[in-house]
Amino acid sequence: GAVVSQHPSWVICKSGTSVKIECRSLDFQATTMFWYRQFPKQSLMLMATSNEGSKATYEQGVEKDKFLINHASLTLSTLTVTSAHPEDSSFYICSAAQGANNEQFFGPGTRLTVL
Amino acid sequence: QKEVEQNSGPLSVPEGAIASLNCTYSDRGSQSFFWYRQYSGKSPELIMFIYSNGDKEDGRFTAQLNKASQYVSLLIRDSQPSDSATYLCAVLNSGYSTLTFGKGTMLLVSP
């Protein structure tokens, strides 16, 4: 149980374009999902908390107009990186919380490269 | 600002030895603590969590929690080369559903 998928697993795009990443909980419903970003040799940094049916909560320093989050159903959250630039190149990972102790289970991640 | 501190390592142990990974946290109100394993280029996978003072065992892994000292540790018995990875300590922020992660400790188990 507690399987989370992400799509795509990697993407290369040109600067200025937008990229959408999907995160799905496959065997459970997740009212809350999380989006992280990880640069090489660094730890996970929480970008935002995605809540089903309401607006996402962004961490300080994360531009909500650049990183659009939509949590349309209990099993799907999407992150759209708008007008991507090379500095947005990173490993984007989503997670979904389950259980009384809010254990987070991570998707396999999406490696974004912006040329 | 809530902080989670880990020694970056690498921690090198021979195969079959016990690996001890440590973590301290700043938020005294935190109640739940998690250990994740992350292989290079992959996403984290949950090893175990602990919320009560003392020890919690799961197979070769033992998590230890001391809330008074704000200290969490993970022991890996009979370490295997396949255990070589970065181990992330995560703390559930009090009053929220978010986690704060440490920078991780790299473990290297040599055959």
pLDDT digits (tens, 9 = 90+) for A16-50: 999 999 999 998 888 899 999 999 888 899 999 99
B104 with A32: Cβ contact below 8 A: no
Q: How far apart are CA A109 and CA A10, in angstroms?
A: 8
Which residues have a Cβ under 8 Å from the Cβ of A108 and sit 6 or more positions away? Answer: A5, A6, A9, B42, B43
Best B50, B88, B98, B105 member to test A by mutation, with max A CBs in 10 Å, is B98
- Looking at CA atoms only, how far is residue B79 from chain A in angstroms? 23
How confident is the model over A80-108, as a mean pLDDT? Answer: 92
Pick the closest to residue B107 from B17, B9, B24 (CA basis): B9
Q: Does B24 contact A at CB distance below 8 Å?
A: no
Pick the closest to residue B60 from B3, B7, B13, B98 (CA basis): B13
pLDDT at A1: 61
pLDDT at A99: 78
Pick the closest to residue A88 from A105, A58, A67 (CA basis): A67
pLDDT at A45: 93
CB-CB neighbors (< 8 A) of B102 in chain A: 43
Candidates B42, B97, B104; nearest CB to A97: B97
A43 with B103: Cβ contact below 8 A: yes
- Here the tokens at position A47 are 């970008």
pLDDT at A53: 83
Q: How far apart are CA B77 and CA B18, in angstroms?
A: 5
B103 with A46: Cβ contact below 8 A: no
- Here the tokens at position A18 are 């937008």
Q: How far apart are CA A91 and CA A113, in angstroms?
A: 9
A107, closest residue in chain B (CA to CA): B43
Q: Provide the strand spans (E) within A39-89.
A: 45-51, 57-58, 67-73, 76-81
Best A41, A104, A105, A113 member to test B by mutation, with max B CBs in 10 Å, is A104
Which residues have a Cβ under 8 Å from the Cβ of A51 and sit 6 or more positions away? Answer: A31, A32, A57, A71
Pick the closest to residue A50 from A30, A29, A20 (CA basis): A30
How open is the CA angle B18-B20-B23, to the nearest 5 degrees? 165
Return mean pLDDT, chain A: 93
Pick the closest to residue B99 from A109, A40, A7, A96 (CA basis): A96
Which residues have a Cβ under 8 Å from the Cβ of A55 and sit 6 or more positions away? Answer: none
CB-CB neighbors (< 8 A) of A50 in chain B: none
- Here the tokens at position B108 are 């290297």
The band of A65, judged by pLDDT with boundaries at 50, 70 and 90, is: very high
Candidates B98, B103, B104; nearest CB to A46: B98
How open is the CA angle A98-A99-A105, to the nearest 5 degrees? 35
Q: Is the pLDDT of residue B38 over 80?
A: yes
- Looking at CA atoms only, how far is residue A96 from chain B in angstroms? 11
